Structure 1
Amino acid sequence: MKKQVIMGVALLALGSAVTQASAEEQAVEMGGVGVTGKKDKQPVYSATTVPASASATVEEFSREDIQSIAPASVYDIAALSPGARVEFQGRKGMNALQLRGGDTVGIILDGVYIPWSQASRIMAQFPVDAIESVRIVRDSSAVTLGPFVAFSPAMSHDNVPSPGLGSSNQGFMVITTKKGKGPELGGIAEYGSLDTRNFQLYHGNSKGPFSYRMVGTASGTSGRAGWNNAANNLSLLLNGNYDSTALKADFLIYYANGRREIQRSTKDSTAYTSLWNYDPLESLQIALNLHKPWNAVHTTSLSYARGRVTDDEYLKSSTSTTIPQAVRQEDQVETWHLWHVAATENNRLTGGFQAFLWKSPTGQFFYEGVPRKEDLFSGYLQDEYKFNNRLTLDGGVRVDTKLIEQGSDKYSPLQATNKKIENEWQQPAISMSIGSSYQLNEQHKLLARMGYTRQEADTFLATVGNKTLNTEERFKYEAGVEASYHPAFNPSVTLFLYDINNFAYSAATGGSGSSVYNIYDTANIIRKGVETSVKGSLPWGFGYHAGYSYITTNRGDTNKVMPHHNVSLRLSHQIGGLESNLILNYVGPYENNFLSVGNIYRPAGEYTRVDLNVSYSFKLDKAQLRATVYGRNLLDDRYVTIAGWQDQGITCGAKLEVAF
């Protein structure tokens, strides 16, 4: 019934559309650009626009930036954003991205909101050559992007590799795929160390108001011998756009089918004997976005998206010859988003409603066999006003309300007496923010933001003494400056402070092996830090982009499990068709005891990863070609982000791209 009601309201809002003048697409200045200095431009009705006062907290990687980085996955891109922390573990949810000391990150792919329970399994294999841009929004200031409340505490707390560092989505990674802009046909062939291969064919075209692009990719790796980290993946990506004065629309279909082994740990971890894998591992993501311009000011938009991940999980042990039975897993989320934008020359007002219908009918990760179903209903309002060519003010509010239709009272596989939750509403989570940007002069822009969030702890969490956790409140403050002195020197700096009351953290663990879970308590924490960036283009074809972030808290136990320093550096040089790029990423030391033998805190981080690639672009008859050789982790550092799981070390390869 809920789906029919949502669909009826949404279609009614668009059904009365009449053919009137289109809303003019306005350029929206975005933050964080690459060495090229290019800025993203979005239509005025975009739901992923952030206020001008938050521009310093947005790191954008353009198509050219991504090509120069030569990443193995989208996580290699995200790791270069100040304040970002990428982690890997050989467990059922493998990949994780966190910001500003541990807050979780929502992932949005062409309008599809992908919860961590899905992203942790599939996004590492998403074809990066199909990506147009990646934007890392380091704070939850943009209330239009997505929910601040995560689905199922099993995902937002108990299975996150560094649990208890953040209780909700406090940032977003927005991924936009390449669109068809005219006749194009091409392919990519890549081969590297560890029998790593990547083959891609793509085709796109446009005719009148319609354009499309489709990409087929076959990729895989044999992994290191004895590491249990082989993988292969076949995927098809299709997107399209329709652009007329009466209606604007776009769609996405992404399907992937493959197999992924779950990397084996070292003897530092209690998971050392685990030889797990997903076979098959399937994903289907679809999205449809409709935009109706009523006139030059008003535009109403409707978005529908559906994401689904299914797999057969095999939990094999190195100490047993028994062939395990497949454990079926299914995770899906359905999203409706209806919003309206009223934009004039000086003001942009946005209001909307979102509904996220999430379920895991087979049971989630370490709670197989116990169905979970949650619905999240959200409303938001955001306004940004430009007083003159210098001053802008903005404010926004968002409310997320969760309905647990089906679930268990405590996330603890060993608590056999758990009651089952049915149709229980959680307390609403509220987020508010205000911000301002001021163009001091031609060179300097001043930025300031204040935010407040209030969120109840989910009843799912296992807690110390089985007590009820108090409401978490966050008071967030930011101040920054962006400077544009010269094409060769463009710095920015942001200072932030989070005053968090009743911060949920992992105080202990229960269970063992595949049934381990976290037990939570709360504490008052002050988290503060600085994020800096500087970029520029230099003479003789050189360019650079450097970033640094520092974060600390007033709580020792929290401080020791997070890296305080993060440095990134991209150096580029181009002469004619020859381009070379050096990428460096340093992560400071910290400790981790997730599944650690004896629950001992073990060293993690404190590594410097150096990547290098050289490419040459040339023409052959009517074909445009680009040949690239690359090396990743050239220092062969077997660094650890989660106790027991090492990076696989130095790899190298070659890649040939052909376009007609």
Structure 2
Amino acid sequence: MDLQYPTTVLASQLATTLILAATSPALANDAAATAPPRQLEAIVIEDNSEQQREDLKADSPTNLYRVEASARFGTEVFTKEDIRALKPNNVFDLLEKAAGVNLIYQGRRSPYIVEERGGGTFTYIIDGAVLPSSANRILYKFPVAAIEEMQVVRGATALTLGPSIPIGASNSGSGLNTGFVIIRTKQPKKTEGVLTVSAEKAAGGHPIESSESLYVGTRFGEADGESPARPLQGYIAGLLANMDRPSQDSWFDGRSNTGGMASAGFTYGKFNLNMMAYKDSGTMEMQRGVSTDGSLMAQKWWYDPLETELYTSDMALQWTPNQTTLFNIFKVEYEQTEHDGTFGSSTATLREFSEETSGFGLRHNARFGNTLLQAGWQMFNSQGFGPNLSSAYNRYDTTINGWSLSVEQKLFNERLVLDAGYRQDQKHIDYSSKSAASDGANNNVDMAPAKIYALGARYQLNDMFTLNGRYYYGDQGTSDDFALRSLGDDLEAERQERIELALEANLVSWFRPTLTYFDIDTENAKTASTSTYEVDGETYYYYTQSDERRRGLELMIKGQLFENTSYSFSWTRMLDAETTSNGITSDAIGLSTPENMFGLTLSHTWQPYRFNLSIKQVDQWTQTSSPKGTYNVDGIGDYTRIDANIQRDFLLGDTLLTATLFGRNLGDEHYSTRYVTGYYPDRGRTVGLELAWAF
């Protein structure tokens, strides 16, 4: 390859040709004809990836988020190699690739609903920082380039991971969470840097979306072949990222964000410390709804700005190979300015909210032969602020104190592993400093504690089959949250009972299935009604409660078809999704939840090329509910989404350029997943080019 030809010019011409090809083949041909001819040689790049970080290994005593052996069948891990292959647009685009996850875009104030196995609520954690209820507006703009690993833990029966009830200063949306999404940010393996630029364009006249990121980092104190390792070893790294997606008023789904991350850490003897700081500022438009007759809705919602600051630190002291103490501390600051208006009007109502959340955790892992004891204590505090504290929706100060204790026992040469755990979380409410509370229970009091019990077992039947089982019982302790009012009878505490059974089979390299049966029984689940009341000039919704029962099967298959071809397949089948209210039972399958979801990923390497394919198929449902009401529509969901990309590496001297030609929703399906103030259809087919220069 002629290295005298600037790589920036090459990147620009490749991107221009691709984008023009998506919209005008004739213009693309003209662009290609005017570009100077350059031959990129076929280069085979060997896999020189480093060994996995110690704190990410499943059974490492320094893993802050270790999951019990009997719960790992329900845990899905996306490594940085997986993320590179899937080429997601954002964190939620990546999360949607997980088995059994249904991502619902709903527009308006809270843009995303994430359901797993027909319902539930995730708790999101970044490097130990537990995010508040505004997580869906924080994560959409968190750069994927910063992620080393994302772990999706279904079932939430691993009790040491985090609180059993969501934290935050909002006065709604508690309940017992049913899973965790844990994000670990990058740490450099050596002195390295990656500059990434991408451009993409959706069909239908949408403007070009662009993004850029620069990651640099280095390690110090380690042996390098010329000098021995030093007692003090560590790393330092930084990331800058920018994203801009302009929009048209007929869609009004634009987004932008500029942010940066800095991280550092060191190891000295038995002590290890990691630190991370992240800050961003962006905007987000809530997509314009399309009514059933095809007309555009007049409501106009957007956020400008959305700002996040996140600071985390975790420490590990490994006294002996079998005794490790872990400590983490974090702070999250979130600010938003919400604009509420209508199209055709130059005026809008502005609402400013901010929230500060902080917390820390102390844990100790002790192994005695084949017995592992884990004990921990965590505390989380959230404070809400606004220009008018008496009417701000997040005006409460809340604190959650939680502790957990678990034991894991290996028997019969580790063929059988048993575990048991208990967790208790207590929420404290302090409203007295902000306004005269209308409800005395909100003033400086402890709510009844949430109490969680979990049991697990993993038994290796033989060299091919392993049986797993998990049991969970949770009592929230209080009636959902501290300020919910009932439309009818008094609200009662939510209780959940969950059973998961899984059979893993390691038959041959190309066929390794896991079949899971899940049963989730919830009493007193809360739903906002359409009726409202006012307190201090602010409007709130009354709530109702009902019992829910979700049962289903989940099949996951992984394998290596050929030497250079691998795949994974998932199928989630809902058997029951029943709701019982006032003695009347109805089944939500096909009504408000899909019956089947399928997922397939396929990766193939051929000489210098890597081909990646992702397919997701979701059944139809016809009903959607919100405080604005219940709508029965012709159909929601019922889509097959196909994403694909082709990657190739090129050597530029001692550096590496990776070009990725990608497409999302190649079938150009404008599917919707919710109807509130209209449908919110997907943009459809999107194509783009990404260039990543590693140096």
| Change beyond 3 A, Cα 1:121–1:28 | closer
Q: Which runs of 5+ in 2 are unaligned?
A: 1-50, 202-206, 222-232, 580-585
Q: 1:295 deviation in Å?
A: 2.2
Supply the distance in 1 between the matched residues of 2:467 and 2:672 (Cα, whole angstroms).
38
Report the CA distance shift for 1:407/1:588 in structure 2 as closer, same or farther (over 3 A): farther
Tell me the SS of whatever aligns to 1:538: strand
Query: 1:92, 1:365 within 8 Å by CA — same for their partners in 2?
Result: no
Equivalence for 2:496: 474
Superposed CA offset, 1:422-462 (max 9, x none): 11221111111110101111111110111110112223223
Give the residue type in structure 1 aligned to 2:553.
Answer: V
Which residue number in structure 1 is paired with residue 652 of structure 2? 620
Partner of 1:521: 544
Q: Does 1:585 align with 2:616?
A: yes
Q: Give the equivalent residue in structure 1 for 2:195.
A: 187
Does the alignment pair 1:374 with 2:398? yes
User: What are the Cα deviations for residues 289-327 of structure 1, in whole angstroms up to 9, with x where unaligned?
Assistant: 1112222322222111001111222222125332x3542
Deviation larger for 501-510 or 447-456: 501-510
In structure 2, which of residues 660, 672, 676 is the aligned counterpart of residue 640 of structure 1?
672
SS at 1:554's partner residue? Answer: strand
Moved more, 337-346 or 476-485: 337-346
8 Å CA contact 1:27, 1:42 repeated in 2: no
Q: TM-score, normalised by structure 2?
A: 0.82
TM-score, normalization: structure 1? 0.87
CA distance in 2, matches of 1:60, 1:141: 17
Distance 2:483 2:169 in 1: 6
Q: Are the aligned partners of 1:268 and 1:596 in contact in 2 as well (CA < 8 Å)?
A: no
Q: Are 1:510 and 1:517, in contact at CA under 8 Å, matched by a contact in 2?
A: yes
Between 592-601 and 133-142, the greater mean CA deviation after superposition: 592-601
The amino acid across from 1:120 in the alignment is N
Verify: 1:650 aligned to 2:685, yes or no: yes
For the pair 1:75 / 2:88, whether they are aligned, the reply is: no
Distance 2:290 2:280 in 1: 30
Residue 139 (structure 2) pairs with residue 123 (structure 1)? yes
2:311 match: 286
Provide the rounded CA distance (Å) in 2 between the counterparts of 1:351 and 1:98. 30
SS in 1 for 2:320: coil
Q: RMSD across aligned C-alpha pairs, in angstroms?
A: 3.0
Shift of 1:46: 2.1
Q: Which runs of 5+ in 1 are unaligned?
A: 1-25, 31-38, 158-165, 410-415
Residue 147 (structure 1) aligned with residue 163 (structure 2)? yes
TM alignment of 1:601-620, pairs within 5 A: 601-602=632-633, 603-620=635-652
For 1:28 and 1:344, how far apart are their aligned partners in 2?
A: 24
- Taking the aligned partners of 2:105 and 2:398, their CA distance within structure 1 comes to 27
- Give, as a single letter, the amino acid of the residue that structure 1 aligns with 2:505: A
* Match status 1:445 vs 2:466: yes
Decide whether aligned partners of structure 1 residues 28 and 494 sit closer, same or farther in structure 2, where only a CA change above 3 A counts.
farther
**1:137 Cα deviation after fit:** 0.5
Residue 393 of structure 1 deviates from its aligned partner by 0.4
Aligned match for 2:456, one of 398, 412, 435: 435
Cα contact 1:27–1:44 (8 A) shared by 2: no
Partners of 2:431 and 2:264 lie apart in 1 by 36
Aligned in 2, Cα 1:156/1:587: closer, same or farther, shift over 3 Å?
Answer: farther
Partner of 1:91: 108
Aligned to 1:120, what secondary structure does the other structure show?
Answer: helix
The CA deviation at 1:506 is 4.1
Q: Are the equivalent residues in 1 in contact too, given 2:133–2:168 (CA < 8 A)?
A: no
Report the Cα distance in structure 2 between the residues aligned to 1:292 and 1:620, rounded to whole angstroms. 43
CA deviations on 1:97-148 (whole Å, 9 max, x unpaired) are 222221110001111111232x111211111122111111011111111111
Q: Match of 2:262?
A: 238
Q: Is it true that 1:422 corresponds to 2:440 in the alignment? A: no
1:521/1:635 CA distance change after superposition, 3 Å: same
1: distance between equivalents of 2:626 and 2:640? 25
Matched, 1:134 2:150: yes
> 1:617 Cα shift?
1.3
Q: State the distance in 1 between where 2:388 and 2:603 align.
A: 44
Q: Which residue of 1 aligns with 2:278?
A: 254
Which SS does the other structure have where 2:161 is aligned? coil
Tell me the residue number matched to 1:327: 351
Question: Are positions 1:567 and 2:567 aligned together?
Answer: no
Question: 1:109-508 alignment to 2 at 5 Å?
Answer: 109-117=126-134, 119-151=135-167, 154=170, 157=173, 167-193=175-201, 194-208=207-221, 209-267=233-291, 272-322=297-347, 324=348, 326-362=350-386, 368=392, 371-387=395-411, 388-406=413-431, 421-455=442-476, 456-457=478-479, 458-465=481-488, 467-506=489-528, 508=530
* 2:557 match: 534
Alpha-carbon deviations, 1:566-625, whole Å to 9, x = none? 111001111122011111111222234345987422332111111111111121111111
Pair 224,573 (structure 1): closer, same or farther in 2 beyond 3 Å: farther
CA distance in 2: counterparts of 1:600 and 1:618, whole angstroms: 53
The superposition leaves residues 55-111 of structure 1 with CA deviations (integer Å, 9 ceiling, x where unpaired) of: 111111111111111100111221122221212122122123222221110001111
| Contact residue 611 and residue 632 of structure 1 kept, 8 A | yes
One-letter amino acid of the counterpart of residue 302, structure 2: N
Cα gap change, 1:589 to 1:531, in 2 (>3 Å): same
2-side partners of 1:490 and 1:29: how far apart?
26
Contact 1:191 1:655 in 2 (8 A): yes
Counting aligned pairs with the same residue, the percent is: 28
More deviation, 209-218/343-352:
343-352
Kept in 2: contact 1:125–1:233 (CA 8 A): yes
CA distance in 1 between counterparts of 2:211 and 2:497 reads 46
1:51, 1:652 → 2: CA distance? 41
C-alpha distance in structure 2 between counterparts of 1:239 and 1:313, whole Å? 31
Query: 1:10-41, CA deviations, whole angstroms, 9 ceiling, x for partnerless residues?
Result: xxxxxxxxxxxxxxxx99999xxxxxxxx954
Aligned to 2:82, the other structure's residue is in SS state helix
Query: Could you tell me how far 1:495 is from its partner in structure 2?
Result: 0.5
Q: Deviations over 1:330-376 (max 9, x none)?
A: 02210111111112452221111111101112289995377221111
Distance 1:351 1:128, change over 3 A: same
Determine the C-alpha separation between the residues in 2 that align with 1:231 and 1:153: 26
**Offset at residue 244 of structure 1 (A):** 2.7
- How far apart are the structure 1 equivalents of 2:603 and 2:531? 46
Structure 2 vs 1, CA of residues 397 and 364 (structure 1 numbering), >3 Å: closer, same or farther?
A: farther
Give the equivalent residue in structure 1 for 2:22: none
Q: Aligned equivalents of 2:119 and 2:388: distance in 1?
A: 22
